[in-house]
C-alpha cells in the first residue's frame, strides 16, 4: 500500500520573507523558539519565511490594512494553542491585533470592531490543545 499523507487545510497565505515586530502587550514567561515563530520575553516577535496563516477570520474582508495584524495574531494564537503562552495573554494578543491594524491604516472604528470580534468569538480557537479549526486530513 502506498504511503498516505496527512495535512491540515484552511491556510490561505504563506509568508515569503521574515517578519519581525516589537510587541507592546504580549510578554511570554520565557523565550520561545519554534520552527516558524520566535518570541522573546522582551516582546520581540520573529515570524519566519514559509509561515502559513489563514488571514483575517470571521465576517470580514482581507484588506491590506488587516494582513500584518492577522499574521501576528495567528502566530500568537498558535503559540497559545501549543501551550507556549498562557491564556492570560488572550486580551493582550487581541490588543496587538488592534494596534497593528490601526498602524497599518485601518480606521479606529473598524479596529475596535475587530478587537470586539476576537474578544467575543476567538477564545475557542486559542484554547491549548485545540486545532484552531484546522481538521487533520488524510489522503492516499
pLDDT above 70 covers a percentage of the chain that reads 90
Does residue 113 register a pLDDT over 70?
A: yes
74: which residues sit within 8 A by CB, 6+ positions away?
A: 53, 54
pLDDT tops 90 at residue 25: yes
Contact 37, 78 (CB under 8 A): yes
Do the Cβ atoms of 10 and 61 come closer than 8 Å?
Answer: no
Burial 96-130, CB ≥16 within 10 A → b, else e: bbbbbbbeeebeeebbeebbebbeeebeebbeeee
* Mean per-residue pLDDT, 103-117: 97
Residue 79 backbone dihedrals phi, psi, to 5 degrees: -60, -35
pTM of the model: 0.87
Domain ranges of the chain: 8-130
C-alpha cell recorded at residue 46: 520573529
Q: In angstroms, how far is CA 27 from the centroid of its own chain?
A: 15
Predicted pLDDT of residue 93: 97
Residue 126: band (very low, low, confident or very high) from pLDDT cuts 50, 70, 90: confident
pLDDT at 2 over 80: no
Amino acid at each position: 500500500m502506498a504511503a498516505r499523507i496527512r495535512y491540515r487545510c484552511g491556510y490561505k497565505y504563506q509568508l515569503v520573507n521574515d517578519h519581525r515586530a516589537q510587541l507592546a502587550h504580549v510578554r511570554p514567561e520565557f523565550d520561545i523558539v519554534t520552527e516558524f515563530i520566535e518570541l522573546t520575553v522582551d516582546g520581540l516577535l520573529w515570524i519566519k519565511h514559509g509561515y502559513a496563516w489563514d488571514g483575517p477570520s470571521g465576517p470580514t474582508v482581507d484588506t491590506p490594512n488587516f494582513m500584518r495584524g492577522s499574521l501576528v495574531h495567528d502566530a500568537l494564537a498558535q503559540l497559545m494553542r501549543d501551550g507556549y503562552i498562557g491564556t492570560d495573554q488572550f486580551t493582550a494578543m487581541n490588543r496587538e491585533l488592534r494596534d497593528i491594524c490601526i498602524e497599518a491604516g485601518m480606521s479606529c472604528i473598524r479596529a475596535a470592531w475587530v478587537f470586539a470580534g476576537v474578544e467575543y468569538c476567538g477564545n475557542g480557537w486559542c484554547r491549548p490543545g485545540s486545532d484552531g479549526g484546522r481538521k487533520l486530513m488524510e489522503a492516499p
